[in-house]
Amino acid sequence: MHDPTQKQRDSDTPVLREQLCFALYTASHHVIRAYRPLLDPLGLTYVQYLVIIVLREQSPLSVGEMGVHLHLDSGTLTPLLKRMESASLVNRTRDPDDERRVLVELTEDGEVLGDKAAEIADNMLCNIDLSRAEAQQLRNRIMALVDTLT
C-alpha cells in the first residue's frame, strides 16, 4: 500500500546505494576505521601512518612534495607534522637552498615506529579477504579514478 507521506521517487532520481561516490566514501571510512586498532597501540593516526610510510620511501621530503604524494595540502600537513615533531617522530628543517621550503625526515624514534608499522599492511590484507593480486588490481583501478579526477 502506498504511504501518502512518502515522496514518490522519480526514475531519474539517484539512489544512494547505487552511487559510486557513496561506495568509495563508505569503503574509505570503514578501511580507516579498521586501521585504528592496529595503529592505536603505536600512538598513530591513519594520516600519521601514511606520513611515516612515505618518509620511509623517500627522505627528506619537502612539505609540498609530501602533499603531492599523500594528496593533502600544506594546511592539513603542517599541524600534523608539528604534532609528529613534538612526539619526536619527525624533524622539520628549512631547506638551506630555499628557505621557503620545509624539509621533513624521520627521527630515529620515527624509524623504529616505522619498523613496527610495516606489519600493518599485511594485517589489513588478511582482514579484507583479498589476495595480494586482487588488492593490487583494486588499488590500480581506484588510483586510475583518482588520476582521472585530478
pLDDT of residue 6: 62
Average pLDDT over residues 76-86: 95
Q: What is the pLDDT of residue 2?
A: 58
Local structure of 150: helix, strand or coil: coil
Among 100, 97, 61, smallest CA distance to 77 is for 61
pLDDT at 113: 92
Q: Return phi, psi of residue 3, to 5°.
A: -90, 115
CA-wise closest residue to 104 among 56, 62, 73: 62
pLDDT for 132: 85
Give the model confidence (pLDDT) of 124-138 as tens digits: 877 788 888 998 999
Domains and CATH numbers, the chain: 44-116 (1.10.10.10), 119-150 (no CATH)
Lowest mean pLDDT segment, chosen from 2-6, 54-58, 63-67: 2-6
Q: Provide CB contacts within 8 A for 110, sequence distance 6+.
A: 52, 55, 84, 88, 89, 90
pLDDT at 4: 59
pLDDT at 135: 87
